[in-house]
Structures are given as structure tokens and as C-alpha cells.
Amino acid sequence: MRRLTLAVLASLALAGPAAAHRVWMLPSSTVLSGTDAWVTLDAAVSNDLFVFEHVPLRLDGLNVTGPDGAAVTPENTATGKFRSTFDLHLIKPGSYRAAVTNEGLIASYKVGGQQKRWRGKADSMAREIPADAQDVRLTESIQRTETFVTVGKPNAAAFAPSGKGLELRFDTHPNNLAAGESARFTLLLDGAPAPGIDVEVVRGGSRYRDKSEEVKLKSGPDGTVTVPFAQAGLYWFGAETQDDKARTAGARRRAVYNATFEVLPQ
């Protein structure tokens, strides 16, 4: 018997660390100067990192936070065949965070012996999944995809965690990464340090390498993870966990976090 309680938003729910497709946002620049800076950000889901060849990342859950912790309005938002895009006018000095958060409910079930899948809002599930469906399995998903841009001197006001799902606390500023150095981050789950979370880090340009050269890590007892950045370039950071803390009765929860960093030469 399906039991429906809280309504949740539709989920993208693609791409955790072990998935073939990866979800990402990519800014045209990550470190800028001046008092009237602009950046364009692309957002997509792809097999090859930072290549537009699969589907766009929808911007329904887009939020941008400025250096003072206040919301910043994105401009010129658009979604095409393979990517979404938007501009940010960086008027204030400091660090900005752009994040797309998607929450949703996913169901797998059988009708007449055939396997089916559905995703959407819980309040529409009773209408869209037949009442005689068998082997119904529910997963609540919360996925956060983000990236970071700094104008002038970096600060951290934009990085306050929401306390919901998987997030990073930045012990090393994400716009202060240099080749040959390591960065220290702390994984949070619902605002608390999250130990034992699997992490994958991949340098961009993998379509031009024989191997993707991903680095697999795991958060420590205090949730910290130390990421080595051997070379300059763009990097994708992915983490995922599953547990039984879903708000919808009978569901499991899947929390996914993805971020793009730029590592600069020494």
C-alpha cells in the first residue's frame, strides 16, 4: 500500500559520484577584479565534464548569494537543448555562491509485470501511479549543485549552510585553490558533520584523456575531507549518501552534492 504524506518538488536526481552523468555549473571566470564585473554561468548534465552533450540543468531551484549574504538576482536566464545559462552582475566586492537545489520524490513500481518509473510531486502521485501498482519503492531526493566566484578580496558570508541535505563547509576558500596544494572541506548532512561519505573528484578535460583520473575519497570521523589538487584546471567534486530519514512515509532519502572549483597555477 502506498502512503503519501508531505508533498515534495520534482527532482532531477541524476548523477551521484558513481553515476555515468555528472551535474555541474561552470562560471566563465572565478576570480575577478574591478567594480563592475560580470560572469556568465552554464549549467548542464553530461557524460564528459564541462561539455554540452546531454541535457540542460534546469534553473527552477537557482539561488545566488552575494558577499553580504543577501540574494542576488540572476539575469538573462535561458535554457536550451543542451545547457542552461545565466549572467551575474557582480557589483559588490567579495565572494558569491550560485546554487541549484532540486528536491523530489521518485518511485519505481510494476504494473502487469512491467517495471515503471515516476518522479514528481507527492500530491500528484496518487493520480499518476495506478492504484494496483505493485512493488512500489519511494526515494526522496535532494540534490545541490553549486559553484563560486570572487571579485577582489574573498570572504565567506555567502557560504553559510542551509542545514538541508549534503553541503560543504569551506575550511579552505573555494576561490583560493592553487596547483600542488590541498584543500580541506567539511561535509555536512542537515547541518551536522557527515562522516564516512564517499567523495569523487575529477579534473576537467577528461574526454581528452585515456582515463578520467578520478580521485576517490571518504570524509573522516569529523566530516572533513582533504582534496589534493596536483594540477591547475577545473575540477568537479561529487558526494552522495542514502539513509532512511525521508519525510515521506515508506521512502528512503538520497542526498547529492556537486560543485565546480577552479584551481589556479602557483
Per-residue pLDDT at 84: 98
Give dist(CA 102, CA 142) in Å, integer: 6
66 with 125: CB under 8 angstroms? no
Question: From CA 132, how far away is CA 70, in angstroms rounded?
Answer: 48
Q: What is the mean pLDDT of each run of 10 residues along the chain (266 residues)?
A: 30 40 96 94 95 94 97 97 98 97 89 88 78 87 96 96 95 97 97 96 88 91 96 96 82 93 95
Give me the residues paired with residue 86 across strands. Answer: 41
Distance in angstroms (rounded) separating the CA atoms of residues 168 and 225: 10
The number of helices, as runs of H, and strands, as runs of E, in the chain is 1, 19
* Distance set, CA 58 to CA 55, 100, 106, 113 (Å): 9, 8, 17, 33
* Domain 22-101+141-263 coded CATH 2.30.30.60: no
pTM: 0.86
Residue 171's SS3 state is coil
pLDDT on residue 245: 81
pLDDT of residue 20: 63
pLDDT at 10: 32
Mean pLDDT of the chain: 89
Q: Are the beta carbons of 82 and 44 closer than 8 angstroms?
A: yes
Return all residues near 19 (Cβ < 8 A) that are at least 6 apart.
none
CB atoms within 10 A of CB 59: 18
Instruction: Choose among 60, 143, 61, 146: nearest CA to 99.
Output: 146
Backbone CA torsion sign across 95, 179, 40, 18: negative
- For residue range 131-182, what is the model confidence (pLDDT) as tens digits? 888 888 888 889 999 999 999 999 999 999 999 999 999 999 999 999 999 9
Residue ranges matching CATH 2.60.40.1930 in the chain:
22-101+141-263
Grid coordinates representing 117 are: 518509473
